[in-house]
Chain A
Amino acid sequence: MINTQDKIATTTETQTKAQSNARHNRFWLQMALMVPLSIIALELTLGALGVGQQEIVQPDPVLGCVHLKDKMVTWRLEGYSHEKLSSQGLRDTEHSLVKPANTYRIAVLGDSSTEGLQVSMDETYTKRLQNLLNQKLPPDLAGKNVEVINFGCSSYSTGQELMLFREQVKKFAPDMTVVLLCKGDILENTLDVLHPGKAEPRPYFYLDQTGNLQCDNGILKANHDKLANDKPVNQLFNWLRAHSNIYGVASKANFSLFLVDKTYYRIAHFIQTIIQKASGKEALMQPSYPMPDKRAVSQALISQFKKETSAIGSDFILMLFPGMGLKDDDWAQTVDALKTQAATQSFGFIDLQPVIQKVKDPNSLFLQFHFSKGGHEVTAGALADYLTTHKLNTQTKTAQ
Chain B
Amino acid sequence: MLFNSFSYLAFLVVVFALYWTMPDRFRRLFLALASYVFYMSWKPEYGLLILALTVVNYFLGLKIASAMQNAPPVESGKASLAKKWLVLGLVFNIGCLCFFKYTNFILMSLFTAITTGGKLAHMPQVETWQSPAINILLPLGISFFTFEFIHYIVDIHRGSKPVKNFLDFTLFASFFPSQIAGPIKRFQDFMFQLQEKPVFKQAQFNAGLYLVLQGFFKKVALGDNIGPIVAQGFDHLSTCSVLDTWIAVAGFGFQIFFDFSGYTDIGIGSALLLGYKVPENFNMPFIACCLTDFWRRWHISLSTWLRDYLFFPLGGSRNGPWQTRRNTLIVMALGGLWHGAAWTYVAWGILHGVGLVLSKDWQTFTARLAETNPWLKALRATAFWHCGGVLFTWLFLCQTFIVFRAQNFGDVLICAGKLFGIGVAETGTGLVTTALLQSTLMLTVPAYLIFACVRYWTIKRAKEAAKLKALLLAQPGADVAQGESAQAQVAELKATQKPLAVEAVLNASQKLRDFWSESAAFRWCSAISLTTLISGLAPGQLSPFIYFQF
A interface, CB within 8 angstroms of B:
27-28, 30-31, 34-35, 37-38, 41-42, 45-46, 48-52, 76-77, 80, 245-246, 248-250, 252-253, 256-257, 260-264, 267
Contact = CB atoms under 8 A, between A and B. Distances in A.
Given A257-B6, A263-B7, A250 B532 contact: yes
B529 A42 contact: yes
Interface stretch (B437-445, B486-494, B501-509): B437-445
Contacts of B7: 261-264
A253 B6 CA distance: 10
Contacts of B520: 27
Contacts of A257: 6
A46 B538 contact: no
A260 B541 contact: yes
A287 B503 CA distance: 72
A49 B528 contact: no
7 contacts: A27-B521, A42-B532, A50-B440, A51-B536, A76-B438, A249-B532, A264-B10
B120 to A, nearest CB: 37
Contacts of A245: 536
Given A34-B525, A42-B532, A49-B444, A261 B537 contact: no
Interface centre among A77, A245, A246 (most CB of B within 10 A): A246
A125 to B, nearest CB: 20
Interface in B504-550: 519-522, 524-526, 528-529, 532-533, 535-538, 540-542
A260 B542 contact: yes
A76 B438 CA distance: 8
Contacts of B66: none
A148 to B, nearest CB: 26
Contact of B525 (A28, A38, A267): A38
Contacts of B5: 261
B519 A30 contact: yes
Contacts of A28: 521
B525 A249 contact: no
A30 B10 CA distance: 27
Chain B at the A interface: SS class: helix
A264 B444 CA distance: 27
Given A27-B521, A31-B521, A51-B440, A261 B526 contact: no
A261 B521 contact: no
Nearest to A253: B535
Contacts of A31: 521, 524-525
A31 B521 CA distance: 5
B443 to A, nearest CB: 6
Interface residues of B, number: 28
B440 A49 contact: yes
Nearest to A52: B536
A246 B532 contact: yes
Contact of B6 (A37, A49, A52, A264): A264
Contacts of A80: 438
Contact of A263 (B10, B528, B529, B540): B10
Nearest to B7: A263
A30 B529 contact: no
Interface string B423-447: 0000000000000001110011000
Contacts of A48: 443
A76 B539 CA distance: 9
Contacts of A38: 525-526, 528-529
A19 to B, nearest CB: 15
A160 to B, nearest CB: 25
Contacts of B542: 260-261
A34 to B, nearest CB: 4
A267 B6 CA distance: 11
A46 B536 contact: yes
A245 B536 CA distance: 9
A51 B540 CA distance: 13
A246 B11 CA distance: 25
A27 B524 CA distance: 11
Q: Across chains A and B, which 4 residue pairs bring their CB atoms closest together, nearest first?
A: A30-B521, A249-B536, A51-B536, A80-B438
Interface in B6-22: 6-7, 10-11
Interface in B386-444: 438-440, 443-444
Contacts of A261: 5-7, 542
Contacts of A46: 533, 536
A196 B438 CA distance: 40
Contacts of A263: 6-7, 10-11
A264 B8 CA distance: 11
Contacts of B525: 31, 34-35, 37-38
B536 A41 contact: no
Interface in B168-205: none
Nearest to B435: A80
B444 A34 contact: no
B135 to A, nearest CB: 26
A116 to B, nearest CB: 16
A28 B519 CA distance: 11
A262 B1 CA distance: 10
A177 B519 CA distance: 62
A32 to B, nearest CB: 9
Nearest to B10: A263
Nearest to B1: A263
Given A27-B521, A34-B521, A256 B540 contact: yes
A41 B535 contact: no
B387 to A, nearest CB: 31
B536 to A, nearest CB: 4
A253 B528 CA distance: 14
Contacts of A262: 7
Interface string B44-77: 0000000000000000000000000000000000
A31 B532 CA distance: 17
Nearest to B437: A80
A52 B524 CA distance: 21
A257 B444 CA distance: 23
B480 to A, nearest CB: 36
Contacts of A52: 536
Nearest to B530: A42
Contact of A30 (B438, B440, B522, B532): B522
Contacts of A77: 540
B537 A51 contact: yes
A266 to B, nearest CB: 10
A52 B520 CA distance: 27
Contacts of A76: 438-439
B533 A42 contact: yes
B232 to A, nearest CB: 12
Nearest to A46: B536
Contacts of A34: 521-522, 525
Contacts of A30: 519, 521-522
B537 A49 contact: yes
B430 to A, nearest CB: 13
A256 B522 CA distance: 28
A261 B2 CA distance: 10
Given A49-B443, A257-B6, 14 more contacts: A27-B521, A28-B521, A37-B525, A46-B536, A51-B537, A77-B540, A252-B535, A253-B538, A260-B541, A261-B5, A262-B7, A263-B6, A263-B11, A267-B10
Nearest to A29: B521
Nearest to A35: B525
A248, A249, A262 — most chain B CB neighbours (10 Å): A249
A200 B542 CA distance: 25
Interface in B86-144: none
A127 to B, nearest CB: 19
A359 B11 CA distance: 51
A256 B538 contact: yes
Nearest to A81: B438
Contacts of B444: 49
